[in-house]
Amino acid sequence: AQTVTQSQPEMSVQEAETVTLSCTYDTSESDYYLFWYKQPPSRQMILVIRQEAYKQQNATENRFSVNFQKAAKSFSLKISDSQLGDAAMYFCALSFYNQGGKLIFGQGTELSVKP
């Protein structure tokens, strides 16, 4: 079975500090994409960052970066210099090449940012 697991239901970080959200997944496929999506309260879900499984280099987008460990099937998200606007539900997701783009989501981690 292909699954995505986020073991931290809630996380908290002080403004300007760094926080890491964990995600593990299980699949026997070798070609896939991994995503982190952000869902702010009552607002639209948006893409934070994407990683292609064939790329060894970790993806980065400004203050957001990932630690992709393919052998360990781990895909954590690091948020540096946390801002109040980073408070949201964060979902890790997985999709497979040539399987229509369907996403498998984790359970989500609710991140709060303290001023």
Partner 1 sequence: EADIYQTPRYLVIGTGKKITLECSQTMGHDKMYWYQQDPGMELHLIHYSYGVNSTEKGDLSSESTVSRIRTEHFPLTLESARPSHTSQYLCASSESGAGSTDTQYFGPGTRLTVL
Q: Say which DSSP state 30 is in.
A: S
| Site mask for partner 1 (CB under 8 A), range 13-32, x = bound | --------------------
DSSP state letter for 14: E
The tally of CA atoms less than 13 A away on the side-chain side of residue 20 is 8
The residue among 16 and 45 lying less far from partner 1, judged by its C-beta, is 45
Residue 75 CA to chain centroid, in angstroms?
7
Q: Does 33 bind partner 1 (CB under 8 A)?
A: yes
Structure tokens at 13: 């970080």
Residues of this chain, 38-97, that bind partner 1 according to CB under 8 A? 43-47, 50, 52, 89, 91, 95
Start-to-end Cα distance in the chain: 41
Quote the least distance from Cβ 96 to partner 1, whole Å: 8
CA distance 99 to 68: 22
Q: Binding partner 1 by CB under 8 A: which of 25, 35, 36, 75?
A: 35
In the complex with partner 1, which residue's Cβ is closer, 18 or 60?
60
Q: Which spans of this chain sit near partner 1 (rule: CB under 8 A)?
A: 33, 35, 37, 43-47, 50, 52, 89, 91, 95, 100-103, 105-108, 110
